[in-house]
Structure 1
Amino acid sequence: MRFALMTKDKPGALQTRMDNRAAHLDYVAETGVVDLAGPFLDDDGQMCGSLIVLEVPDMAAAEDWAANDPYAKAGLFEEVTLRAWKKVIG
């Protein structure tokens, strides 16, 4: 089952994102459940959030993955949305 994890960074938190980026990317690689992912960009082209599609058994597994993401542990996010998602195209 797929879940879309959509996040919005706290204002002025680009440095927090950059400081934790390597750990976040390592977590993505180690867990092996990310189907696709990438940052949202602000008007200046700077990263300001994320869209991550997880392929996991259920919502509990998606919530666990999201809670253990180094970005979440660093307090990067102002807003987090996690929803079941169905891939239709692509």
Structure 2
Amino acid sequence: MLFAFICTDKPDGLPVRMAHRPEHLAYLKGLGRALKFAGPFTAEDGETMNGSLVVIEADSLATAREIASADPFAKAGLFASVEIRPWLWSLGKPEEKA
């Protein structure tokens, strides 16, 4: 089952984000095939990162929560909120042909 992590940074969290970004990226890469896609939300300028969207495959919501809580950003206290929702990938899957 797929789960979407919708994460919102705390106000003025950019320094924390930048300090822990290398470990965060390494953690996500370490998830291997469980990671479907990920990237930062941005402010209206399209550059200033202020949150994260991560989609993973996991056996259960409990496992998804464990993965989210082990993220270095979460451990550093970057997020004001993290919503974890089951998600169905309906369109635009990589294996689909245009």
TM-score relative to the length of structure 2: 0.89
The residue correspondences of 1:55-66 to structure 2 (distance < 5 A) are: 55-66=57-68
Taking only aligned residues, the RMSD between alpha carbons, in angstroms, comes to: 0.7
For 1:62 and 1:28, the matched residues in 2 are separated by: 13
Look at both structures and tell me which one has the larger radius of gyration over its CA atoms: 2
Q: Displacement of 1:57 after TM fit?
A: 0.9
Which residue identity lines up with residue 24 of structure 2 in the other structure?
Answer: H
Q: Say which SS state the counterpart of residue 71 (structure 1) adopts.
A: helix
CA distances 1:25-50 after superposition (whole Å, capped 9, x unpaired)? 11011122210111000123300000
What residue number does 1:17 align with? 17
Which residue identity lines up with residue 25 of structure 1 in the other structure?
Answer: L
Report sequence identity in percent.
44
Q: Can you give the 5+ residue segments of structure 1 that lack an aligned partner in the other structure?
A: none
For 2:44 and 2:37, the matched residues in 1 are separated by: 23
CA distances 1:3-28 after superposition (whole Å, capped 9, x unpaired)? 00000000001010000000001101
Which residue identity lines up with residue 41 of structure 2 in the other structure?
Answer: F
The residue correspondences of 1:1-90 to structure 2 (distance < 5 A) are: 1-32=1-32, 33-44=34-45, 45-90=47-92
For 2:83 and 2:52, the matched residues in 1 are separated by: 10
